[in-house]
Amino acid sequence: MGDFTSLDPCVHCGFCLPACPTYLATRDEADSPRGRIVLMRALERGDLSADDPALRQHLDACLGCRGCEPACPSGVGYGRGLEEARRRIAASVGLRPLARLTLGVFGRSVAWRTAFGAGRWIRDLGLAKLLAGSGRARLGFGMLAATAPGRVRQPTLAPEAGTGPTVALFRGCVMDTLFGHVHDATRRTLAVNGYRVIEVPGQGCCGALHDHAGDQEGAARLGRANLAAIGETTDFIVVNSAGCGALLKDYGHLLGTEAARRFAGRVRDVTELLADRGPVTGGSLPLDVAYDAPCHLQHAQQVQRQPLAVLGAIPGLRVHQLPGSDRCCGSAGIYSLVEPAMSRMVLDDKIEAIRSLTPRPDFIATGNPGCLMQIGAGLMAAGLATRVAHPVELLDWSYAAGGRYR
Amino acid sequence: MKAGVAAALAGALGPALLDGEAVAPRSVEEMAGAAALATEQGWQWKLSGRGTWVTDDPPADLELSTRRLTRVLSIAPADLVATVESGVTIAELGAALRPHRLWWPVDPPGRGERTVGSVVATATAGPLRHGYGPVRDQFLGCTVVVPDGRVVETGGRVVKNVAGFDLPKLHAGGFGAFGVIARLHLRLRAVPESDTTLLAEGDRPRLLAAADAARDSGVGLCALELLSPAAAGTSEWCLAARLAGTRTGTEGEAARLRVATGIAWHTLGHDHAMSFRDILATTAESGSSTFRLGCLTGDIATTLGLLEATAGAGATFAGMGTGQLRWSGDVAPAQLIALRRELAAREVPLTIERAPWALLRAAGHFGSLRNGVGPILARLRSLFDPAGSIVVALEGNHG
Amino acid sequence: MTTSPTPALTADLLGALSRLVGSRWVRHRPAELATYAADGLPTHESRPGLVVLPGSRSEVAAVLSLLAERHVPFVPRGAGTGLSGGALAGGDAVLLTLTRLNRILRIDPASRRAVVEPGVINAHLSQAVARFGLQYVPDPSSQTACTIGGNVAENAGGPHCLKYGVTTNHITALEVILPDGSTATLGSPQGEPWGPDLVGLFLGSEGMFGVAVEITVRLEPTPRDIRTLFAEFTQLRAASSAVSAIIASGIVPAALEMMDQSCLEAVEASIYATGARTDAAAVLLVELDGAPEAVAAEAAVVEPLLRANGARSVTVATSEPDRARLWLGRKKAFGALGRLAPDLAVQDAVVPRSALPDLLDQIAAVRDRLGIRISNVFHAGDGNLHPCISFDRRDPRQAAAVVTANREIMEACLAAGGSITGEHGVGSDKREYMPRAFQPAALDLMCEVRRVFDPDGRANPGKVFPANVCREWRRGDRQ
């Protein structure tokens, strides 16, 4: 199906190197975008085979964050090339066992509902927070603990239903089971801004994790199911997970049908819809916050300004610039699970940047479940009091404080 | 000149090569011939220009001088480059460039009869180093006669050039140890529309504070020099500032300088500024020795104190933006060696620019060298001058 | 890329190096070595025997001592953004990658100095000192990626070097490890050397004298006022004469850059578009900086000069975002040119400024005769040309035309009294031109100076000098 033509403009200038979180972690060109392009071209020419362990190691170590793309003056389509390389590797040698197992879980809703349901139970008992820490397993508990609502007391009242465009809420898997409070906040804040939010049953996982791992088959299967469930009735499909949104917007490419392209054209990140309406100003929320841009929002979807517009609608909120906020946190889908060492090195850079901020923010705002969990766990491991929250959560609290909910 | 040397030289290369006591070739080729013959004969020779800067005679079999290499070979105003022979004096160069509204922004210590070759070989920058950089930045390439008579052209005549190794750097401040600089491509500037010198007098701490304020304010100056009374020929310490550029630009900067420093400055008229620069140039060779040292700008005040305590009275010049300090006076070898040790502990190198041979032989132009530099220098010397033909004291006996 | 069996020597060395720096930091598998086979000029490729990434200066010293003991050649490398094929190792040579030595060791704002390790990225240094109102001035176009150590090895330039000088003018001291593993301290914090100017000699030695492991740099205050003028010309020659007129006026702009139409088209088609009309034959970017009065006074001279020499429009930007936008196209031009064809040969040569108009005509003639696309983007203020040839190396006719064009352009520059490289270095790419640029005596002397630092010739072997060019300097007839 694909090829590597998107890599053709590469002139080997190396400008992408410092834009790559894994290169910054190791300073080894084998872990850089330019180095990986060399590997992909060798794979294309047949100079290296798909089962070459070194080739696989360094391509597997790519976060897929596409932070290199905006740094590239030649417009190399790195993401497309990586997708093709991973497809070829998966097709010829298959997925690694841990990846296969994990993707298997995400591929069947019974499986992920059971797994994340258990996780939520552990979280709600307070066990996750208790066990959170720095080792590999304890970081995992930290991730689970980080999915908890940023505030214990959630708004209980509801706003008046909007009368404007109709919006289908994409529920996803992790978001649906562990971040239900973000879905609630999404519904309420969209309603305040005039949207009519419609719940659509029968959806599942978006397939992004499968797609990134080279399992385009699996991704396409999940995509077709979502397409069928959501249909063509609403004006928009809203997503509050950057990773899911990026793939939903790319269903046209993944599925290759006209219906998929029409579907993809209706997909919006929640901050895009909110920013289109202002958003409406809320009540005062005197907090220090720094925004960290999810890769799949800023690079894949090119949504950069809108999350800041959402935070800008909150009076009293002090938004600080986080150095390297455009750099990946090391979560990257199942990356933190299958490449724990590199993921941790990349995360450490992020936590260090947060640690050196003055004043230290109360919340890091970021609009992707992986990032929320990864950064949240990193903060707990580092013993920092800073917590994580989705931008719409903050807006939701602001609306509650401002009396926007009856 | 050692007995028999003159006759042998005249016999081999013609009597016209001799000029009084010195061997003074009239072309690069003659210079190469003289050097080759001298090296072949095992004669040791010392280098000189017009002989106005060096104070004493090192022992040598002959003196090889560039004093008759006096041609200005080309001036390219559009390229801001002049090619000159190394015996051209600073005064002659200035006169040749003036009709083109060009100048060479080096104001070395010593009289206008100093040669361009001498200024480069000793890397003796003056106050203008603040605005235009050290001597090594003021030429683009040079032709050097090495002791065995080979002529080597290094560098080029364009302002940016990284082809091959940067050999010209070795000759700037090499004190002739790596051959005779015979020709140079000089980097020029267009004469600025306005060139103003301001002077303030007062006690040293006050002027030091004013200089710090000037530096911190970022006023655009091309020189900022603190001068001892002996250096400036005044009764008190002086701070001199020089501004060059467009008229409105220099006026604006002068006003900012006054505000930033809060001291009384008076502007020197054109003639006064010229004669003031002449004073500085000559007081820099008022003592039997002159040396320079380089310290960080934050350490100038303490270094001045150390200089005063160890070297004693003399003419002192301190580049307040560059950290290049110059001192001229009379100093005994033991005193100077002690000062150099003290400075070395503070990461401050001391380079003797001119001194009686007794002092140079004992202390050397550079004296004690840093970690690992000694062997490199020794290998460089034996590469360029394997027979040790050139009499030059780089390290000294006790440095 | 073959998977030939690793030679026994290399296998043994792999073990020894792994013990010194950790096995994680010795790369030996073919795929990994392939990622180090080229620098920013991919027309040259050479796979190293091994890649070692030491993490500290003591590890560098230990690695160099080991390599000396075993007579193994090595090549120092930074981020591999160089444009001369200089940081490439072939055969059994070990590639010594210094990117992990990336700490800024000290910043002394009062004395305006910083001490850094060689792997510090150029732009990161300026970012780190910005809070003191200071900057590190040399700004090669690759500054977001290239390392200070690489800048030292190449004596890198950049647009702002017209007024402020190239790398050599901003380095005051170096701690170097020589190829035999011994160390030397060159220069002093202030810059006055201890002895001859060995810092000046080391700068631009292309990795052939040793490895700088601590670099003391001069910092400069950020200018109080900056004004960028962007002028469009309908004639290339008119833009060149505007450059000459500005230089002759006595004003030294901070930068004076030119892009021709072909380059402009590539930039405007990229995400770095400046908004210039692509029917302009050339654009000039003039940057003035300094005190506000001085900048205003200089702008009042420069703008009329641009118009008098035929500029059809002059845009003036003073705000940071506007200036950044005008600059972005220039800084990313090489990358933008990558869109034009699969391959790009970036050239680098210098001519006396007065020869610029003629040289540009000669390059156009070469272009027309060979039927290739050449874009010009360069530092006009110092006569430093960068003709960029877009081609497809899979087409043998085009590949041959590039070789011919390069040679003809180099010869034209030398004939005009210029140099074969202004800031990229000789590396692998320009070796063959060295005998045309220098007389045999100068080349011989350079080879011997190299042996002063590296008697065995193990540091970056095969670069700068063509094979067999260096004859014995100490000839018997002179002794």
C382 contact residues in B (CB cutoff 8 A): 158-160
* Contact flag C201-B251 (C-beta cutoff 8 Å): no
Q: Give the integer Cα–Cα distance in Å for A135 and C372.
A: 59
Q: Note whether residue A132 is domain-resident.
A: no
pLDDT band at C342 (very low <50, low <70, confident <90, very high): confident
Q: Note whether residue A20 is domain-resident.
A: yes
Q: What percent of chain B has pLDDT over 90?
A: 85
Report the CATH number that the domain containing residue A42 is assigned in CATH. 1.10.1060.10
Q: Give the integer Cα–Cα distance in Å for B80 and C115.
A: 34
* Distance of residue A67 Cα from the nearest chain C Cα, in angstroms: 14
* Contact flag B371-C185 (C-beta cutoff 8 Å): yes
Q: What local confidence, expressed as pLDDT, does residue A152 receive?
A: 65
* Distance of residue A42 Cα from the nearest chain C Cα, in angstroms: 8
C201 contact residues in B (CB cutoff 8 A): 165-167, 169-170
Q: Which residue of A has its CA nearest to C341?
A: A9
pLDDT band at A370 (very low <50, low <70, confident <90, very high): very high
Q: Which of B81, B146, B296 lies closest to C352 in CB terms?
A: B81
pLDDT digits (tens, 9 = 90+) for B355-369: 999 999 999 999 877
Q: Give the integer Cα–Cα distance in Å for B226 and C188.
A: 22
* Contact flag C338-A9 (C-beta cutoff 8 Å): yes
Asked whether the beta carbons of A310 and A395 are under 8 A apart, the reply is: yes
Q: What local confidence, expressed as pLDDT, does residue C156 receive?
A: 96
Q: Which of A15, A27, A30 lies closest to C335 in CB terms?
A: A15
Q: What local confidence, expressed as pLDDT, does residue B173 receive?
A: 96
pLDDT digits (tens, 9 = 90+) for B247-259: 988 999 999 999 9
Indicate the burial class of B262 (C-beta count within 10 angstroms; 0-12, 13-18, 19 or more): exposed
Q: What percent of chain B has pLDDT over 70?
A: 98
Q: Sign (positive/negative) of CA torsion B240, B246, B249, B251?
A: positive
Q: Note whether residue A389 is domain-resident.
A: yes
B194-283 CATH: 3.30.70.2190
Q: Note whether residue A171 is domain-resident.
A: no
State which amino acid sits at residue C134. L
Give the HSE-up count for residue C162: Cα atoms under 13 Å, Cβ half-sphere: 27
The reply to whether C146 touches chain A by the CB within 8 Å rule is yes
pLDDT digits (tens, 9 = 90+) for B127-149: 999 999 999 999 999 999 999 99
* Contact flag C338-A13 (C-beta cutoff 8 Å): yes
Q: What local confidence, expressed as pLDDT, does residue A405 receive?
A: 86
Beta bridge partners of C211: C177
Q: Which residue of C has its CA nearest to A55?
A: C31
* Distance of residue A345 Cα from the nearest chain C Cα, in angstroms: 14
pLDDT exceeds 70 at position B389: yes
* Contact flag A12-C40 (C-beta cutoff 8 Å): yes
The structure tokens listed for C68 are: 């000396």
Q: Which candidate, B231, B232, B367, B346, places its Cα nearest to that of B294?
A: B346
- Find the range with the poorest average confidence among A143-147, A296-300, B151-155, C13-17: A143-147
pLDDT digits (tens, 9 = 90+) for C238-282: 999 899 899 888 889 999 999 999 999 988 887 777 777 788 999
- Of the three residues A93, A127, A158, the one that is the final residue of a domain is A93
B372 contact residues in C (CB cutoff 8 A): 176, 178, 182-185
Q: Where are the alpha helices (DSSP H) in A46-161?
A: 53-60, 68-71, 78-93, 97-107, 109-124, 127-131, 136-145
Q: Which of C224, C383, C473 lies closest to B158 in CB terms?
A: C383
* Contact flag B137-C198 (C-beta cutoff 8 Å): no
Report the CATH number that the domain containing residue A289 is assigned in CATH. 3.40.50
| Angstrom distances, CA of residue B160 to CA of B87, C161, C251 | 25, 9, 18
User: Does B contact C via 3+ CB–CB distances below 8 Å?
Assistant: yes
Q: Which candidate, C406, C408, C390, places its Cα nearest to that of C398?
A: C390
pLDDT exceeds 50 at position C477: no
A8 contact residues in C (CB cutoff 8 A): 342
- Tell me the average pLDDT of chain C: 92
Residue B237 three-state SS: strand
Q: Note whether residue A357 is domain-resident.
A: yes
Residues 6+ apart with CB under 8 A from C194: B349, B366, B369, B370, B373, C185, C187, C188
Q: What local confidence, expressed as pLDDT, does residue C8 receive?
A: 57
List all residues of chain C from 42 to 61 with a beta carbon under 8 Å from chain A.
42, 53
- Tell me the average pLDDT of chain B: 93
Q: What is the pTM of this model?
A: 0.93
State which amino acid sits at residue A153. R
Query: Can you give the residue range of the structural domain that contains A18?
Result: 5-93
pLDDT exceeds 60 at position C305: yes
Q: Where are the alpha helices (DSSP H) in chain B?
A: 5-13, 28-41, 90-97, 116-122, 129-132, 168-171, 204-217, 229-232, 247-261, 270-283, 300-311, 333-345, 357-363, 373-384
Asked whether the beta carbons of C376 and C259 are under 8 A apart, the reply is: yes
The structure tokens listed for A262 are: 């029409």
Residues 6+ apart with CB under 8 A from A152: none
Asked whether the beta carbons of A19 and A70 are under 8 A apart, the reply is: yes
Asked whether the beta carbons of A203 and A177 are under 8 A apart, the reply is: no
Count of the separate structural domains present in chain A? 2
* Contact flag C353-B79 (C-beta cutoff 8 Å): yes
Residue B136 three-state SS: helix
The structure tokens listed for A305 are: 């300004």
Q: What local confidence, expressed as pLDDT, does residue B125 receive?
A: 97
Q: Which of C110, C168, C252 lies closest to B166 in CB terms?
A: C168
| Same CATH fold assignment for domains B194-283 and B289-384 | yes
Q: Which residue of C has its CA nearest to B320?
A: C111
What architecture does CATH give domain B289-384? 2-Layer Sandwich (3.30)
Beta-carbon pairs below 8 A across chains B and C:
267
* Contact flag A38-C37 (C-beta cutoff 8 Å): yes
CATH 3.30.465.10 fits B72-190, yes or no: yes
pLDDT band at B350 (very low <50, low <70, confident <90, very high): very high
pLDDT digits (tens, 9 = 90+) for A177-233: 999 999 999 999 999 999 999 999 989 999 999 998 889 999 999 999 999 999 988
Please state the rounded mean pLDDT for residues C216-231: 94
The reply to whether C337 touches chain A by the CB within 8 Å rule is yes
The reply to whether A372 touches chain C by the CB within 8 Å rule is no
* Contact flag C191-B347 (C-beta cutoff 8 Å): no
Residue C198 CA to its chain's centroid (Å): 20
Q: What local confidence, expressed as pLDDT, does residue A98 receive?
A: 85
pLDDT band at C331 (very low <50, low <70, confident <90, very high): confident
The reply to whether C241 touches chain B by the CB within 8 Å rule is no
* Contact flag A14-C80 (C-beta cutoff 8 Å): yes
Q: What local confidence, expressed as pLDDT, does residue C221 receive?
A: 92
List all residues of chain A from 69 to 98 with a beta carbon under 8 Å from chain C.
70-75
pLDDT exceeds 60 at position C478: no
Dihedral angle of Cα B326, B330, B332, B338, to the nearest 10 degrees: -30
Q: Which of C192, C290, C353 lies closest to B220 in CB terms?
A: C290
B192 contact residues in C (CB cutoff 8 A): 250
- Find where tokens 């010293």 sit: C61
List all residues of chain A from 4 to 63 with a beta carbon under 8 Å from chain C.
8-18, 27-30, 32, 34-36, 38-39, 42, 47-48, 52-55, 58
More confident residue, B153 or C291: B153
Q: What local confidence, expressed as pLDDT, does residue C475 receive?
A: 52
C423 contact residues in B (CB cutoff 8 A): 160, 162
* Contact flag C430-B163 (C-beta cutoff 8 Å): yes
With vertex at residue A116, the alpha carbon angle to CA A111 and CA A118, rounded to the nearest 5 degrees, is 100
* Contact flag A28-C53 (C-beta cutoff 8 Å): yes
pLDDT digits (tens, 9 = 90+) for A297-356: 999 999 999 999 999 999 999 999 999 999 999 998 889 888 999 999 999 999 999 999
* Distance of residue B170 Cα from the nearest chain C Cα, in angstroms: 6
* Contact flag B160-C382 (C-beta cutoff 8 Å): yes
Please state the rounded mean pLDDT for residues C124-130: 95
Q: What local confidence, expressed as pLDDT, does residue C271 receive?
A: 73
The reply to whether C466 touches chain A by the CB within 8 Å rule is no
What are the structural domains of chain C? 8-97 (3.30.43.10), 104-221 (3.30.465.10), 225-415 (3.40.462.40)
| Angstrom distances, CA of residue A372 to CA of A81, A142, A243, A378 | 27, 11, 12, 10
Beta-carbon pairs below 8 A across chains A and C:
122
User: Does A contact B via 3+ CB–CB distances below 8 Å?
Assistant: no
* Contact flag C31-A15 (C-beta cutoff 8 Å): no
C195 contact residues in B (CB cutoff 8 A): 366, 369-370, 373, 377, 394
pLDDT exceeds 50 at position B265: yes
Q: What local confidence, expressed as pLDDT, does residue A122 receive?
A: 87
Helix (H) or strand (E) holding A253: helix A251-255
Q: Which residue of C has its CA nearest to B152?
A: C442
Q: What local confidence, expressed as pLDDT, does residue B14 receive?
A: 86
Q: Which of C430, C442, C479 lies closest to B152 in CB terms?
A: C442
Which of C359, C379, C449, C472 should be substituted to probe chain B, the one whose Cβ sees the most B Cβ atoms within 10 Å? Answer: C449
* Contact flag C198-B373 (C-beta cutoff 8 Å): yes
Q: Note whether residue A173 is domain-resident.
A: no
Q: What local confidence, expressed as pLDDT, does residue C3 receive?
A: 42
The structure tokens listed for A40 are: 């992909």
* Contact flag A9-C102 (C-beta cutoff 8 Å): no
The structure tokens listed for B386 are: 């394997």
Question: Would you list the domain boundaries of chain B?
Answer: 5-65, 72-190, 194-283, 289-384
Q: Which of B166, B248, B256 lies closest to C297 in CB terms?
A: B248
| Chain B neighbours, 3+ Cβ pairs < 8 A | C
The structure tokens listed for C287 are: 């940057």
